[in-house]
Structure 1
Amino acid sequence: MKWTGEDMDMFTRAKEYIDTVILPLCPVSFQENLDRTVEMTDYISFLVHPLEKQFKGRLLLLPSFTYLKPKEGDLPIELLLNWEEELRASGFNYIFYLTSDQEWQTKESALNGSIVCMPSVPIRKHDLNDRNTILEDQVKQIRSLFTEKWQQSKQV
């Protein structure tokens, strides 16, 4: 489900079945990394929608968490911890942060959610068939990761 009026109506009726949330992490920079951060955001945007469709009824796709790309690796961890607190209190057992910003991988231990870092591909430079193939491969990898996390908690 997406953060839209229609989907949120369904969410309130089926809340007990929706235990997973995706929060895309999208950097913004108007300096030397402008093109790179645009590419990262584009790529994550292309990836999250097929995931949302596949797991509709199991997960909620939140609007992107947009942040200024720091120069020294000073990522907004405290803000994500606030998100986690709110999401856990709202009944979400699984929090996945989807990003192409590799710096987040070094911060995963500070978070309770899972960082899913997918190296971005300049997706708009590919023709439609190549784009779909690339995205399908990446979505399969992410789907496997989600399934693995869900399975692990059943075994505990």
Structure 2
Amino acid sequence: MKWVKQDLQQYIQAKEYVDTIIVPLIPFQLSNDASLEKNAFQREVLSLFTRDLEKELSGRILLSPDYHYLASVDKETEINRMNAWIDDIQSQPFQHIFFVSSDSGWKKVEQGLKGTLIWLPAATADSMQPTEIQPIIRNQVQQVSELIRTYWKG
């Protein structure tokens, strides 16, 4: 289920079956021209990935709104804000919370997160043709879907 009115209406009716939430982590920084295109491309790819993941695991997950953070801010500082999100999320019956990011900086601080980090290596627009992106995303979705299913079994 996506963060849209119709899906949220369904969620409210079936929340006992929706035990997993996916939180996309999106870097943002207008003050650094060198990273603008890279960050925008990563957001586009992550958006495609999370939409496909939501379709693959439909009925069991809720895709939260993107969590935007300043790329220049220390991740340790950002964790407090993120965990406040999670405290609110946990007022619902979510048993599994997954963060999805292409920013490897989150790996260093993931133990402070109130959830599980799924890190996807970032693709760069320079190294990929548009026709190559969808098969790669599809492959990643299949792998991550299997990972999430192992959490459901445990």
TM-score using structure 2 length: 0.90
Post-superposition Cα deviations, 1:68-109, rounded to whole Å, max 9, x if no partner, equal 102655551011111111112211110000010111111111
Amino acid at match of 2:10: M
The residue number in structure 2 matching 1:98 is: 100
Match of 1:69 in 2: 71
CA distance in 2, matches of 1:75, 1:26: 16
Which residue number in structure 2 is paired with residue 10 of structure 1? 10
| C-alpha displacement of 1:112 | 2.2
Structure 1 unaligned runs (5+)?
none
Which segment drifts farther, 71-80 or 86-95?
Answer: 71-80
1:91-130 map, 5 Å? 91-122=93-124, 125-128=128-131, 130=132
1:138 matched to which residue of 2?
Answer: 140
Q: Counterpart in 2 of 1:22?
A: 22
What is the CA–CA distance in structure 1 between the aligned matches of 2:153 and 2:95, rounded to whole Å? 13
Deviations 1:22-79 (CA, angstroms, capped at 9, x unpaired): 0100001220322221122111111001111111110000110011102655551011
- Structure 1 runs of 4+ with >2 Å offset: 71-75, 122-125
Partner SS state of residue 70, structure 1: coil
Contiguous gaps of at least 5 residues in structure 2: none
* Identical residues among aligned pairs (%): 29
Cα distance, 1:123–1:12 mapped onto 2, change above 3 Å: farther
Return 70-79 or 14-23, whichever deviates more.
70-79
Give TM-score, length-normalised by structure 1. Answer: 0.89
Contact 2:38–2:124 at 8 Å: present in 1 too? no
Report the counterpart of residue 33 of structure 1 in structure 2: 35
